[in-house]
A and B are shown apart, each in its own frame.
Chain A
Amino acid sequence: MTTFNDSDPRMADERETTEGKVFTVQGNDWDELLHDLSSTPAQERIIVNMGPQHPSTHGVLRLILELDGETVTEARCGIGYLHTGIEKNMEFRTWTQGVTFVTRMDYLSPFFNETAYCLGVEKLLGITDQIPERANVIRVMMMELNRISSHLVCLATGGMELGALTAMTFGFRERELVLDVFEMITGLRMNHAYIRPGGLAQDLPEGAEQKVRELLKILPGRLKDTADLLVDNTIWKGRTVGVGTLDLAGCMALGITGPILRSTGLPHDLRKSQPYCGYENYDFEVPVQTSADAYGRFLIRIAEMGESMKIIAQCLDRLKPGPVMIEDKKIAWPAQLAHGADGTGNSFEHIRQIMGTSMEALIHHFKLVTEGFKVPAGQVYAAIESPRGELGVHLVSDGGTRPYRVHFRDPSFTNLQATAAMCEGAQIADVVAAVASIDPVMGGVDR
């Protein structure tokens, strides 16, 4: 039997189902709800739909919680609300255009998506060794800056979800400093498409190194403030210590990587174990905790931001003048960008050269931009350590100018599977803390 709620057309209807009566709670209706509840026979088992539009679910995540009082007896996730078919779309774009898609997957760590994808394409092309040193150093620098900005959002939204609003304002304020650097270097705060197969879209602009150095002066103090605010905070510890625990065996079975795995004491980090982009040349530690809870993951993220700053400082020292795109003109993106009166575009000299003096250069430019380069047939899997764990890319080429199949093994997708293991048997309030400590980004989960 269905009764429609005619007072507010936006509200879902309350109805009888085989499981019992369904109530819709929208806020400010407590008295009404109490009245309705008292008119139905007492029920012990309550199923609560939390999300997808819930401020504490870290994005459009739907949690289906079965409750006994305030204890969660079963927790299930509903995902797919941000699925945009990126993997399918990429099959109809060139290999270079793919970067523009992947950067939008996990929108908090765009440089990691771009790098993982480009490392895969470069592996398929067999040009991994030909990437210029300067491009690799800038890739590492951008990724580590990105790791800081991503961890700051994790702290900020995680703090907000647990009621620590100052952590939120601090986190987003500091993140904005990092995004300012991104904007200066790539032109955009997010969705950069800066790292390209073969190298980078363009070199660092003038003053970028100085700006990163300034950031490295400001950030340590700011991060210390955020850490001081929370590390010994009684309320913060009360909400996170011993919450959302998952031991090493659980992590292995569920394929969990990143800070969650390292909070069990295993120092597994692909930057150390299977280095890429020259990570073997940098001096940094892999922070580890043994508490395997939300508090341990928080401490790891704080420590990782410090290690990232160490790596960025080393990147600045290693930056030597040189090309940022592969020498092979059959792959290298032909743009010679310059800033003109009407914005950034191909430089006047480059246009004059290809339009006026070399028909072959013009044809080459046209073919490479419209048709793209061919990638020899085969399949590869490339993986990097993103802020959330192992970000893997499975690329299949049929020898054409477009990917035959692209699959992203996003760490958020896999880590979110731990929700049930972390939440069942705990209080409903701890679900929020546990999910925040997983730090899922739904854009990466759903792709």
Chain B
Amino acid sequence: MNGDTSGYGGLVVKSEPIAAADRPFGGAFDSIADAIEAAVPNHAQAITGIVIDRDQMTIQVKREHLVEVAQALRDDAALRFEMCLGVSGVHFPEQVGAELHAHYPLLSITHNRRVFLEVTAPDADPVIPSLISVYPTNDWHERETYDFFGIIFSGHPHLTRIQMPDDWMGHPQRKDYPLGGIPVEFKGAQIDPPDQRRSYNK
């Protein structure tokens, strides 16, 4: 602290990640969990935790087992999550060893319910297997997440940038991406990058 008592001083309250839940999960979540255990033979190794938060079920999957879990979720009659709504990346630089998260929303039209898969990868080895073989819709979504976060979806047939120009350097939605400042035409003034401006952050 620098003696600044204005509230801008940078005092940050850290919130703990939401802990994995134990059974019973409540609602239809237990039957989904039962069906997954029946459909994925090595679920104990593949699934690291199940988070129940705000009425949503997020299944944390080890990246090396992602394709097999997704395949079971799609094909098993009791699960039947026919539709994947893409993938969304999140970058948590402070979660050392699991900086990159990939979040896959799945929808079962048959049973009218949703689950979410969450996979992590370290910055040092940002590789997550591609889900195109199970859900072809993830083609562009994975390209977008690669473009913005640098997650390499191994097995993707043409993992190229989709939104940014092909020769762009860096992955803009990562938290460590330099934002730059805007030079203002007034006596060499400079507007600080948004993440370094004096502001309320927390």
Give A residues with C-beta under 8 Å from B. Answer: 79-80, 83, 85, 87-88, 92, 123-124, 126, 252-257, 266, 268, 273-274, 370-372, 374, 376-381, 383, 390, 392, 394, 396, 398-402, 404-405, 407, 409, 413-414, 416-417, 446-447
Residues A401 and B114 in contact in the complex (CB < 8 Å), given A255-B137, A381-B105, A392-B85: no
A398 contacts B15, CB within 8 Å? yes
A253, A256, A266, A416: most-surrounded residue (chain B CB, <10 A): A253
Flag B169-202 by CB within 8 Å of A: 1 or 0 each: 0001100000000000000000000110000111
B112 CB within 8 Å of chain A: yes
B201 contacts A401, CB within 8 Å? yes
The number of chain B residues with a CB under 8 A from chain A is 47
Please report which residues of chain B, range 1-39, place their CB below 8 angstroms from some CB of chain A when the two chains form the complex. 7, 13, 15-18
Please report which residues of chain B, range 86-130, place their CB below 8 angstroms from some CB of chain A when the two chains form the complex. 86, 88-91, 103, 105, 107, 109, 112, 114, 116
A371 contacts B140, CB within 8 Å? no
A446 contacts B137, CB within 8 Å? no
B136 CB within 8 Å of chain A: yes
Q: A92-B194, A380-B54, A414-B141 are in contact. List 8 more A-B contacts (CB 8 A).
A: A252-B82, A253-B135, A376-B15, A381-B116, A401-B201, A401-B202, A414-B85, A414-B86
B84 CB within 8 Å of chain A: yes
Closest B residue to A421 by CB, please name it.
B136
A407 contacts B88, CB within 8 Å? yes
B165 partner residues in chain A, CB cutoff 8 A: 80
A371 contacts B200, CB within 8 Å? yes
Chosen A-B contacts, 19 in total, with CB atoms closer than 8 Å, are A79-B162, A79-B163, A83-B164, A253-B136, A253-B137, A255-B135, A255-B138, A274-B112, A376-B15, A377-B17, A377-B18, A379-B58, A379-B90, A400-B202, A402-B201, A405-B88, A409-B85, A416-B140, A417-B140
B201 contacts A88, CB within 8 Å? no
B109 contacts A266, CB within 8 Å? yes
Residues A401 and B200 in contact in the complex (CB < 8 Å), given A92-B194, A396-B90: yes
B48 CB within 8 Å of chain A: no
Chain A proximity of B164: nearest CB distance (Å): 7
A416 partner residues in chain B, CB cutoff 8 A: 140
A273 contacts B109, CB within 8 Å? yes
A88 contacts B105, CB within 8 Å? no
Flag B45-76 by CB within 8 Å of A: 1 or 0 each: 00000000110101000000000000000000
Chain A proximity of B130: nearest CB distance (Å): 15
Q: Which of A253, A399, A405 contacts B202 (CB 8 A)?
A: A399
B18 contacts A378, CB within 8 Å? yes
Residues A390 and B85 in contact in the complex (CB < 8 Å), given A83-B164, A377-B15, A401-B201: yes
C-alpha spacing A447/B138, complex, angstroms: 18
Q: Which of A87, A124, A383, A414 contacts B140 (CB 8 A)?
A: A414
B54 contacts A394, CB within 8 Å? no
A92, A123, A268: most-surrounded residue (chain B CB, <10 A): A92
C-alpha spacing A328/B103, complex, angstroms: 31
Chain B proximity of A386: nearest CB distance (Å): 13
Chain A proximity of B26: nearest CB distance (Å): 16
Chain B proximity of A79: nearest CB distance (Å): 6
A380 contacts B56, CB within 8 Å? yes
B88 contacts A409, CB within 8 Å? yes
C-alpha spacing A400/B199, complex, angstroms: 12
Q: Which of B56, B135, B172 contacts A85 (CB 8 A)?
A: B172
Q: Which of A92, A124, A394, A417 contacts B137 (CB 8 A)?
A: A417
Closest A residue to B177 by CB, please name it.
A88
Residues A400 and B88 in contact in the complex (CB < 8 Å), given A92-B195, A252-B83: no
Closest B residue to A371 by CB, please name it.
B200
Flag B141-174 by CB within 8 Å of A: 1 or 0 each: 1001000100000000000011111000000110
C-alpha spacing A231/B139, complex, angstroms: 35
A417 contacts B195, CB within 8 Å? no
Residues A126 and B18 in contact in the complex (CB < 8 Å), given A252-B83, A255-B84, A401-B201: no
B164 contacts A399, CB within 8 Å? no
A80 partner residues in chain B, CB cutoff 8 A: 161-165
A252 partner residues in chain B, CB cutoff 8 A: 82-83
Closest B residue to A406 by CB, please name it.
B88
C-alpha spacing A273/B107, complex, angstroms: 11
C-alpha spacing A368/B35, complex, angstroms: 46
Chain A proximity of B49: nearest CB distance (Å): 14
Closest B residue to A253 by CB, please name it.
B136
Chain B proximity of A93: nearest CB distance (Å): 9
A417 contacts B105, CB within 8 Å? no
C-alpha spacing A380/B144, complex, angstroms: 20
C-alpha spacing A253/B161, complex, angstroms: 22
Residues A126 and B164 in contact in the complex (CB < 8 Å), given A252-B82, A383-B85, A401-B200: no
C-alpha spacing A396/B100, complex, angstroms: 13
B137 partner residues in chain A, CB cutoff 8 A: 253-256, 414, 417
B86 contacts A381, CB within 8 Å? no
Residues A379 and B103 in contact in the complex (CB < 8 Å), given A252-B83, A401-B200: yes
C-alpha spacing A83/B161, complex, angstroms: 12
C-alpha spacing A400/B135, complex, angstroms: 34
Closest B residue to A393 by CB, please name it.
B88
B13 partner residues in chain A, CB cutoff 8 A: 399
Chain B proximity of A365: nearest CB distance (Å): 15
B86 partner residues in chain A, CB cutoff 8 A: 255, 392, 409, 414
Q: Which of A87, A255, A273 contacts B85 (CB 8 A)?
A: A255
B140 partner residues in chain A, CB cutoff 8 A: 413-414, 416-417
A381 contacts B56, CB within 8 Å? yes
Residues A409 and B15 in contact in the complex (CB < 8 Å), given A414-B140, A417-B139: no
B88 partner residues in chain A, CB cutoff 8 A: 394, 405, 407, 409
B107 partner residues in chain A, CB cutoff 8 A: 390
Closest A residue to B158 by CB, please name it.
A76
Q: Which of B105, B112, B114, B195 contacts A394 (CB 8 A)?
A: B105
